[in-house]
Structure formats: C-alpha cells, structure tokens
C-alpha cells in the first residue's frame, strides 16, 4: 500500500479505509507493507500521535530532514524527489506481487506509478487524477461541471503543477493495471475526463458490529453529522435549519480547519453540539442512538463511508442528492435524499415523528450493507481481480516471447 496518509497520521476516511483493507488482507495471511509520508501530515497541521507498531501490516513512515523542500519538490515535479531513495529501498526489500496506490499526491506524485514491476492498482479516494485541487470544487464555491483548472488552482492558493499540462500524467497512468473506483459516479467522471485505463467498480466496505446493541431510549433526540469539518462538507448549511427546527438537537462529530467558523455560525444555539474527534467505539454509540445521520456534503464525494457506518447500526440517513451519496441511498433504500435546505424541516419532522419508518429505513440500510458492502465481498472481488490481472500478465509475456 502506497499512500500519503495512514492512521494515526491522517485526516479523513481514506486513511481509515486503507488501514481496514491492510488489516483485513493481513488477517487472511497476506504480507502487507504500507508506505506513507509523515512529513505531509505534519506540514498540513496534523499533530503528533502515538503510532501502533505492527509486523503485518508493516508500516514505513517516510520523514525528511528538510520536509518543506521535500514536499515542494514532489508537488512541483510530480515525482518522489527526495523520497525516491527510501521508497526504492523498501520496494527492493521484498518481491511484491501487488502495488496498490492510494492518495499519492505528496508521497511521489504520478512519477511513483513508474516504480516496480508488480501488478499496479490505484484507488481514487479523491479526484487527484483529474483535478489539481483534488476535489472538483470550483473556485471554493460550487461543484465543478466545467473546468477552469488554472484559474481555480490559483484561487485555491496552491502553486500550479506544470506537469499537469503535459503528457506526463497520462503516460504514468498507463502503468496501472486497474483503477478501482468506489462508486459508479467516480468511474463515470474519470471516464468522461479522458482517463485511459481499466476502470473497475469496487465499492468500499465497513466492518460489521460484533453484536446488535440496543438503543439508549433515554438520550435526548438528536440528528448526527460525522465529517471532517471543512467547508465542502456542508455542515454550515444545517445551522440555519436547526435555528428554526427546535424538536431535536444537531450533534456534530469531527474536527477540521472550518470548526471555528462553524462554532461562530452556531453561536447562541444550544441545540447544536460540537463533539470533536470521536473514537470508533464512541462513534458506534452515536450512530446507534441518532434519529438519523445527515450527510450535507456540497462536493462530489467519491463514496460515503459514514452512510455505511450508520447502516451498520441500523440508523437511517438523510443525504444531499449529489455524487456517490445519491448512488448509495438509491441502491440501499436506507434513507432519503434532498436537493435544497428548504426541504429539510419537513424531512426532519417526518423522520422524527415516525419511528416505524425510521426502523424500516434503518433495516433496509443494514440489509443492503450485508448484501453489497461487507469486507468478505470486497476481498473476494479484490483478490479475484488480482488473479485475473496476473493471468493477463502471464499471457502477455508469453505472447511477447521470441522464438
């Protein structure tokens, strides 16, 4: 596994999923190495956290004596730069069968895709292959439907990457055997934007709870948001709604750069509670006791892990009709969709007032989770794909032999 972020040096759901996948493969007896970049985490404001040591997965944490320079070289050149030597050394230590790339923007850029001769997979947790700001979030105000990449990059405060305007990225993508898209939306968007690679739909998974715990009937009624607190996650769009909707509270779990602004916007409303970072066990309780999970994202999410986490606790979901969120709700029938905040008061009232409907939606969500999004199903498809790619490589090398 090659990725910029990995727990505990991570900010969002991509790191969580990579850890879950690595540990799931290790439990099946596969030998897993993870290479990630601690410099990037600290540079972007991450605080030092104690890392858990493990023999399998074995974790390689890259650090540089000159972190800013190392990250700048990688960002601007699109190559590993000062990280090249340790990455090559790790890859040479073992004869890897598979190299699975994730968020590699500050680990080695597209140049990293040239490394190694193993089967190469890439999972887009963001839109890095097709968007310089990774998010398809145009001018910091709206989802991107028509590209203005240079102007948008400058508006975001990021230095332009000139390699994006050459054939370098498309040439390195040719090294990939498959791009594993967590949603149909991601697959279609990459295809529409001209990515020339084998695109495979392989949705993420979440762990199932060991047992079905009972809800706490004594807790005050609340709707829940679980998100990194950034503008694109849309929490700010709920605050005016909950100034008027006084029948339940809004609990927000997570942290991020937008937290202070959200607290300012919510000032004076005791029904909005910011819970900060919550450990996995506490999150399960929060999901379980919520009237519903609200997912108000303004951007094109690549998946919707928090939706599946709510389904695991048989909790229904209210999600914005955008990107992969629409896909999951329509497939599961485990929640409702909305397009504008004006629809929310009615949806909230119906969800709160009708306990039978909540139970029905929650049960549908859990049933869909068991049908489509379990670890067992993911690994079966993942490993079958790898075997088929192995066969293709073997057949290709045979056909290329000279006699």
Please tell me which residue, 199 or 210, carries the higher pLDDT value.
199
Q: Which residue has the tokens 């799931």?
A: 24
Please give the residue that has the higher pLDDT: either 209 or 311.
311
Residue ranges of domains in the chain: 13-201, 222-372
- Residue 42: how many other CB atoms lie within 10 Å: 15
* SS3 at position 358: helix
What pLDDT shows up at residue 212?
66
Quick one: pLDDT at residue 209?
78
pLDDT for res 94: 86
| Cα–Cα distance, 175 to 327 (Å, whole number) | 30
Give CA–CA dist 255/257, Å, rounded.
7
Task: Name the CA dihedral angle for 270, 271, 275, 276, rounded to a multiple of 10 degrees.
Answer: -70
Average pLDDT of the segment spanning 311-330: 97
Instruction: For residue range 206-255, list pLDDT tens digits in order.
Output: 998 766 677 887 789 999 999 999 999 999 999 999 999 999 999 999 99
The helix or strand, by DSSP H or E, that contains position 228, with its residue range, turns out to be none
Element at 72 (helix H, strand E): helix 67-77
Stretch 154-183: mean pLDDT: 96
CA 26 – CA 31 distance, rounded (Å): 6
**Which structure tokens are listed for 344?**
């929310």
In this structure, of 134-148, 203-217, 284-298, the range with the lowest mean pLDDT score is 203-217
CATH number attached to the domain at 13-201: 3.40.50
- pLDDT of 57 above 60: yes
User: Which whole number is the average pLDDT over 112-132?
Assistant: 97
Chain centroid offset of residue 278 CA? 17
pLDDT tens-place string over residues 250-279: 999 999 999 999 999 999 999 999 999 999
Q: Average pLDDT in the 295-301 region?
A: 97
Q: Over range 58-65, report the average pLDDT.
A: 95
The SS3 assignment for 230 reads coil
- Give the mean model confidence (pLDDT) for residues 5-26: 94
* pLDDT exceeds cutoff 90 at 116: yes
Best CA proximity match to 385, nearest among 169, 223, 179: 179
**Which among 122, 236, 218, 231 is positioned nearest to 179, based on CA atoms?**
122
Query: Between 3.30.1370.160, 3.40.50.410, 3.40.640.10, 3.40.50.2000, what CATH number should domain 222-372 receive?
Result: 3.40.50.2000
- Please give the pLDDT value at position 210: 61
Question: Which structure tokens are listed for 124?
Answer: 């887009």
Give residue 65's pLDDT: 93
pLDDT for residue 81 is more than 60: yes
Instruction: DSSP for 91-103, please give it.
Output: HHHS--SEEEE-S
Residues whose CB falls within 8 Å of the CB of residue 167, separated by 6 or more in sequence, listed in order: none
d(CA 325, CA 295): 8
Question: Which pLDDT score, from 0 to 100, does residue 250 have?
Answer: 98
Instruction: Note the pLDDT of residue 402.
Output: 37
pTM score, whole prediction: 0.93
Percent share of the chain, pLDDT over 70: 97
Higher pLDDT pick, 158 / 262: 262
Please report, in angstroms and rounded to a whole number, the separation of the first and last CA atoms in the chain.
37
Would you place residue 403 in the very low, low, confident or very high pLDDT band (cuts 50, 70, 90)?
A: very low
pLDDT at 365 over 70: yes
Q: Phi/psi of residue 176, each to 5°? A: -80, 135
Q: Please report the pLDDT score of residue 47 as a whole number.
A: 82
C-alpha distances (whole Å) from 131 to each of 15, 82, 150 are 20, 24, 10
Q: What is the pLDDT of residue 392?
A: 86
Tell me if 13-201 shares its fold with 222-372. yes
Are the C-beta atoms of residues 13 and 226 closer than 8 Å to each other?
no
Tell me the pLDDT of the chain averaged across its residues: 94
């Amino acid at each position: 596994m090659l990725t910029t972020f990995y727990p505990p040096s991570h900010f969002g759901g991509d790191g969580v999923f990579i850890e879950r996948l690595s540990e799931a493969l290790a439990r099946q007896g596969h030998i897993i190495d993870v290479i990630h970049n601690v410099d990037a985490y600290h540079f972007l404001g991450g605080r030092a956290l104690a890392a858990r040591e493990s023999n399998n997965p074995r974790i390689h944490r890259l650090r540089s004596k000159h972190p800013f320079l190392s990250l700048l070289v990688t960002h601007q050149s699109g190559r590993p730069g000062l990280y090249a030597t340790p990455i090559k050394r790790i890859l040479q230590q073992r004869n890897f069968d598979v190299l699975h790339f994730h968020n590699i923007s500050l680990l080695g850029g597209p140049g990293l895709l040239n490394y190694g001769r193993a089967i190469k997979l890439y999972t887009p947790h963001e839109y890095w292959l097709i968007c310089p700001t990774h998010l398809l979030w145009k001018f910091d105000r709206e989802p991107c439907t028509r590209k203005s990449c240079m102007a948008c990059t400058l508006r975001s405060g990021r230095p332009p990457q000139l390699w994006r305007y050459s054939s370098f990225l498309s040439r390195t993508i040719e090294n990939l055997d498959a791009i594993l898209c967590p949603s149909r939306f991601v697959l279609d968007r990459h295809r529409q934007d001209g990515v020339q690679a084998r695109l495979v739909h392989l949705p993420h998974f979440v762990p199932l709870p060991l047992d079905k715990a009972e809800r706490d009937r004594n807790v005050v009624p609340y709707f829940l948001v679980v998100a990194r607190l950034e503008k694109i996650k849309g929490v700010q769009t709920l605050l005016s709604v909950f100034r008027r909707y006084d029948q339940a509270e809004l609990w927000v779990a997570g942290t991020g750069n937008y937290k202070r602004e959200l607290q300012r916007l919510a000032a004076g409303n005791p029904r909005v509670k910011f819970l900060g970072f919550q450990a996995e066990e506490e999150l399960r309780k929060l999901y379980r006791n919520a009237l519903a999970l609200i997912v108000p994202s303004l951007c094109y999410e690549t998946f919707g892990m928090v939706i599946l986490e709510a389904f695991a606790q048989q909790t229904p979901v209210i999600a914005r009709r955008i990107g992969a969120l629409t896909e999951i709700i329509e497939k599961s029938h485990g929640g409702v969709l909305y397009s504008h905040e004006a629809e929310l008061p009615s949806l909230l009232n119906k969800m709160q007032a009708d306990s039978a409907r909540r139970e029905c939606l929650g049960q549908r969500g859990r049933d869909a989770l068991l049908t489509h999004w379990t670890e067992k199903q993911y690994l079966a498809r993942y490993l079958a794909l790898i075997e088929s790619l192995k066969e293709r490589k073997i057949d290709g090398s045979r056909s290329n032999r000279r006699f």
